[in-house]
Amino acid sequence: MQSNILLENVKFGNWQLRSRVVMAPMTRSFADNITGEVGPEVADYYQKRAADGIGLIITEGINPSLRAKGTYGVPGLYTMNQIQSWKKVTDAVHQEGGTIAAQLWHVGRLTHHELTEGYPPQAPSSIAAKGLVHRLRKPYELPEEMTEADILEVIEQHAKAARNAIIAGFDGVEIHAAHGYLIDQFSTNLTNVRTDKYGGGFTQRLTFMKELLIAVVKEIGAERTIVRFSEIKDDIPGFKWDDPEHAVAAYIRVFKEIGLSFLHPSTNQFSEVLTNGLTFHQTVRKYWDGMIIGVGNLNSESASSAIMDGTIDLAAFGRPLLANPDFIQRIKSGSTLAPYDSRIQLTTKP
C-alpha cells in the first residue's frame, strides 16, 4: 500500500524517527495563563501521539519571553518552573520512543498590552495590524518600533529559550519565522519600513531572521534547529510575494549560509501552485537538498506521493491528529479517520 512509506523509520542526525509522520504545531492554549507552565494533561496529550508512533512531534508555539505572547494560555520557556513543567512532557514522549521539538513563537505586533502585563507590542516598525487580537477580541494596538537594543535582546531571548528547551529535554526546536509573526514582520515591506541594516530590500530584511538563527544554532547546533517559513500572513489575507521565486531563493541562501539542514515550508494547500507551475514545496526543493517537512491539508495518499517523488521527506498533519490520537494505527490498518470537529477538538482538554 502506497501510504506505508509514511510508516518508514528515517534517521536525521541523531534523531531516529519511527515514521515520516510529523505532528504539526497547533495552538491549544492549555498552559496556565499566568505562569506559562504546562500540566499533566499536556504531557498526556503528546504522550498519546508518541505512543501511536508519530515520527516527530512539533509542539504548539512556546513563548521565549513575556512580550512574545499573543493570546491566552500560551506556554513559555523562559522561567525555571516552565522548564520543569516541560520536562514532564518530554519525559513522557521519550518514554514512548518519540522525538519532540519545541516551536519558539514570538507574535511581534499581533498582541495587546492586556496579554503582556502592560507592555506594548513590539515590531520592526510602528505600524498597527488590522483586525482583532485572537480570543481577546480587541483591536491590535500600535506597536513599539524596536530599537537595535530591543532586537539584540529578542535574539538573545530566542537563544536562551532554545538552550532552555534542551535543558527541558526537547530534542530540538523549530523557529517560527512564518505567518506574519515577529520574524516574518521583519521580512515584509508592509510591516518593515526601517532604514537601518534590518530594513531595505527583501534580502536585507531577512537580516533579523539570519542573526536570530545564527544565535540559536550557536546555542544548540544546526542539527537540532528547524525553521518554519511561509508566504502566508495570518493578519493579511491574500498576501503574495512580489516575486515568489526570488523570495524562496533568498530564504534558502540564508539557511545554507547558516548551515541548517531541516526546513518546514508552510502553506494552507500543499497542491497550490506558487510560481512557474511549481508548488511552494517544489520550489523549495529546487534550491534545497536537505530535509523538508510537507504540510497543507495533506492526506496519507498525497503525502506518500510527495515523499516518493522526492518533494518532501516528512509529512505534517494537524487536525487529523487532534481527531485521531491513533492516526498511525489507523493508517496501518486502513481504517477510516474520524472527522475533525472544532466544537470538540478545540474546546476540550487534550
Residue 83 and residue 168 in contact, taking contact as beta carbons nearer than 8 Å: yes
Q: Give 144's strand partners.
A: 122
- Residue of 181, 251, 287, 340 with catalytic role: 181
Q: Give 316's strand partners.
A: 22
The candidate with the shortest Cα–Cα distance to 30, out of 56, 60, 50, is 60
Output the 3-class SS for 219-272.
Answer: HHCHHHEEEEEECCECCCCCCCCCCHHHHHHHHHHHHHHHCCCEEEEECCCCCC
Task: Give, for 60, the enclosing helix (H) or strand (E).
Answer: strand 56-62
List phi, psi (to 5°) of 200: 105, -145
Between CA 95 and CA 312 the distance in angstroms is 28
Catalytic (active site) residue 198: no
Residue 175 and residue 181 in contact, taking contact as beta carbons nearer than 8 Å: no
Nearest 5°: the CA angle 189, 240, 187 is: 30
Residue written as grid cell 535543558 = 167
Angle between helices 80-95 and 148-167 (to 10 degrees): 40
Listing DSSP states for 75-95 in one string gives -BSSSHHHHHHHHHHHHHHHH
List phi, psi (to 5°) of 60: -55, 160
Nearest 5°: the CA angle 197, 202, 203 is: 65
Q: Give 227's strand partners.
A: 175, 263
Question: How many angstroms from the chain centroid is the CA of residue 103?
Answer: 5
Between CA 210 and CA 317 the distance in angstroms is 28
The catalytic residue positions are: 181
